[in-house]
Amino acid sequence: MGLVDRLLSGDRRAAAQLVTLMEDGGPPAREAVAALYPHTGHAHIVGVTGSPGTGKSTLVYELAKEFRSRDKTVGIVAVDPTSPFSGGALLGDRIRMQKLSTDEGIFIRSMASRGQLGGLARATGDAIKVLDAFGRDIVMVETVGAGQSEVEIARAAHTVIVVDAPGLGDDIQAIKAGLFEIADIFVVNKADREGADRTLLTLRMMLDMGEGSRERGWRPPLVKTVALQGEGSALVADAVEQHLAHLKESGQLHIRSMRLAEEELRRILGQELLSRLLDEIREEQWEFLTKEVAERELDPYTAADNLLASFFQATAGVDERRGYES
C-alpha cells in the first residue's frame, strides 16, 4: 500500500512519514499532495500565534485535551516550537507532547524551519493537508508571531487565536507585527501574573477603536487564561467552536476558503515561475546582467524585464515546437 493509502486508512506512521516528505519538498511531496488533496477540506484549521513565550504551546496542549474531551480528534503542527526567548521551554514542550502522544486521537508534529524562500509556509501548508486528509477534526498550528512567513502561516487558518500575556513590556508592541488584524480570538494568558487586566484593557480599547475584527458580524472575544493550570481553556475552545459556527452561518467559511485557495495558488505560482525562470537563465546572461546592474550600465528593473522577455520568448519557442510535432 502506498503512503497516502496508508494515511487514509489511519496509519499514524504514514502520517509522520508524509509530513517529513512535505518538509523535504520536491516532486515526491507534490505527488503526495496531488493524491491526498481530494481528501482534505474537512478539518477546522486553527492558527495559534503571538509573541515568543506568551504560552502558546501550553495553551495548545490544554486545548488539545479540551477538544479530546469533546470527542474531537486533534492534529498539532508546531512551527519552530522554541524561540530563543523562552529558552528552557523545549523540555517542557517535550514532556507535554509525550503525555499527549499516548492518545491516538492526538497527532503532534513540529516542523523544522529550514529558512529557504517560502519553504516554511509551503511545508507547513502541506503538513496541514496531511493531517486534514488523516481525518483530524481540528488541526492547530502554533507559530511565533514574529516575521512575515509566520504571520502568513497563521493567516492561512479558519480561526486565528492571538495569545498575549502581561509582562512583555509594551502591550501594544507585543501585538504589533500585523497580529492584531488577523485575530479572531484574543487570549490573555498568564492571568495569574500582575498586569493581566491592563493587557486585557489595552486590547479591549483597541477593539473598541475598531481596529482588527477582520469580519463583519464577529467581534473577536477576549479570553483570560492561566494555561499552566488549564484555567480558561474550555472558554477558548468554546470561542473556537463559536467562530466556526459563525463562519458557516454567515457564509464566510466559503469566502475564506476561496481567499485561502487563491493566496496559496498565487504563492505557488510565484515560486514556480521564479524557479523555472532561474532554471532557464544561462549563467553568462546572469553574470552579464548582474555586472551591468552593479556598474550602473542598466537599472535593475530593466534588467529584470530583459530576463522576463527572454524567458517568455524561450518558453513560447518550446510551445511552438510542440505544436509542430503534434
Contact residues: ligand GTP, CB under 6 A: 52-58, 81-83, 86, 89, 92, 144, 189-190, 192-193, 226-228
Distance of alpha carbon 205 from alpha carbon 289, whole angstroms: 53
Measure the CA–CA gap between 281 and 120, rounded to whole angstroms: 26
C-beta of 236: minimal distance to ligand GTP in Å? 12
Contact predicate 105/73, CB 8 Å: yes
Q: In angstroms, what is the minimal distance from the CB of 89 to ligand GTP?
A: 4
Residue with smaller CB distance to Mg ion, 81 or 232: 81
Please, which residue, 119 or 195, has the CB nearer to ligand GTP? 195
**Interaction partner, residue 233 (ligand GTP, Mg ion, none; CB < 5-8 Å by kind):** none
- Coil, strand or helix at 11: coil
Smaller CB separation from ligand GTP, 149 or 252: 149
Residue number, 36 or 240, with CB nearest to ligand GTP: 240
Nearer of residues 29 and 163 to ligand GTP, judged by Cβ: 163
SS3 readout for 180-224: HHHCCEEEECCCCCCCHHHHHHHHHHHHHCCCCCCCCCCCCCEEE
Tell me which residue of 211, 205, 212 sits closest to 184, measured CA to CA: 212
Question: Residue 235: which of ligand GTP, Mg ion, none does it interact with, CB under 5 to 8 A by kind?
Answer: none
Q: Which residue is nearest to Mg ion (CB)?
A: 57
Which residues, other chains included, contact 39 with Cβ-Cβ below 8 Å and sequence gap of 6+?
A: 8, 132, 133
- Which grid coordinates are listed for 318? 518550446
51 binds Mg ion (CB under 5 A): no
For residues 13 and 193, which CB has a smaller minimum distance to ligand GTP in the complex?
Answer: 193
CA angle 184, 176, 228 (to 5 degrees): 65
- Segment lying near Mg ion (by CB under 5 A), choices 81-89, 104-112, 168-176, 215-223: 81-89
Angle (deg, nearest 10), helices 252-280 and 119-133: 130
Under rule CB under 5 A, residue 57 binds Mg ion? yes
Could you tell me how many residues of this chain bind Mg ion (CB under 5 A)?
A: 3
Can residue 189 be called a binding residue for Mg ion (CB under 5 A)? no
Q: Does residue 157 contact residue 61 with C-beta atoms inside 8 Å? A: no
Q: Which does 227 bind (CB under 5 to 8 A by kind): ligand GTP, Mg ion, none?
A: ligand GTP
Q: State in angstroms the smallest separation of the CB of 115 from Mg ion.
A: 19
Which entry of Mg ion, ligand GTP, none binds 190, CB below 5 to 8 A by partner kind?
ligand GTP
Closest approach of Mg ion to the CB of residue 111, in Å: 12
Residue 277 in contact with residue 307, Cβ under 8 Å? yes
75 binding partner (options Mg ion, ligand GTP, none; Cβ < 5 to 8 Å by kind): none
Q: Which is nearer to ligand GTP, 15 or 76 (CB)?
A: 76
Nearer to ligand GTP, 43 or 165 (CB): 165
Q: Nearest distance from residue 101's CB to Mg ion, in Å?
A: 16
Minimum CB distance to ligand GTP, residue 160 (Å):
15
CA 160 from centroid of its chain's CA atoms: 10
Alpha-carbon gap, residue 200 to 179, rounded angstroms? 15
In DSSP notation, 39-86 reads G-S-SEEEEEEESTTSSHHHHHHHHHHHHHHTT--EEEEEES---GGG
What residue 176 binds from Mg ion, ligand GTP, none (CB within 5 to 8 A, per partner kind)?
A: none
Specify which residues 224 forms β-bridges with.
188
Positions touching Mg ion (CB under 5 A) are 56-57, 81
